[in-house]
Amino acid sequence: MKQLGLMIDLDRCIGCKTCIVACRNNKGLVDHAGAMPGEIPHYLRVESAREGTFPHITARSWVVPCQHCKNAQCIKACPSEAIAKDAQTGIVRIDKTKCTGARKCIEECPYNVIQFNVAENYAHKCDLCFERVVFGEKPVCAEVCLTDAITFGELSELKARAHEAGREIDKKMSAMSVVYLKPTPKNTLATR
C-alpha cells in the first residue's frame, strides 16, 4: 500500500502555529461566534522542549497531527466501523456519517489527536487534507508553513530525502507515517 505522510524538520519549526490556523480555516473548525480560545478544535498541535543548562539552552518545536498509523488503534476501537485506512493513500479517515459518537477512538488514540463535535455528535481529525492530495496538491499545513518545516509526500520517499540530505530521523518519534528529523548540532539555538 502506498503511504502518504509528512516530514517535520526540527531545525526549521519555530512553533509559530501558522499551520494550525490555516488548517482550522481550511477545515472550517473556527466558530467565530461561539468558541472560546481554548475550545476551538485543532487537527495538529505544537509541542516544544528545552535542553541543556543556562546559558546554553536549546529550544525545539514540532507539530503533532494524526500519525496515520500502520495498525491504527482508532480503527480497532471504533464500534461502528466509521474509521478506515484508505487503500490508495494510507490515510486514516473518519466517516462522520457512520460515527455514533461512542468516543472509543478518542480513548484509544495514543497521540491524542482526535476532536469531537458535541453539537453534532461525531469524532473528527486530520485526514491529511484528503480532498486536496487526491488532486495532487499539498496538505494545507505543508503549503503554508513559513519556514518549510513540513514536507508532504510518500513515506519511503520522505525517508530517502532525509537520508540524501544527511539528516537523521528520530526513530522514536517517527514510528508511524510522520517523519521527524532530529535537529543538527550546528543549528543549536542558545539563549542569552
Q: Which residues bind ligand SF4 (CB under 6 A)?
A: 23, 27, 43-44, 65-69, 72-74, 92, 109, 111, 113-114, 125-129, 139-141
What is the spatial distance between Cα 116 and Cα 72, in angstroms, rounded to a whole number? Answer: 18
Q: At 53, list the grid cell.
A: 543548562
Q: At 164, list the grid cell.
A: 540524501
DSSP label of 177: S
Give whichever of 9 and 127 is closer to ligand SF4, judged by the CB atom.
127
> Residue 153 is inside which H or E element, if any?
strand 150-154
What is the spatial distance between Cα 66 and Cα 122, in angstroms, rounded to a whole number? Answer: 17
Q: Which residues pair with residue 186 across a beta bridge?
A: none
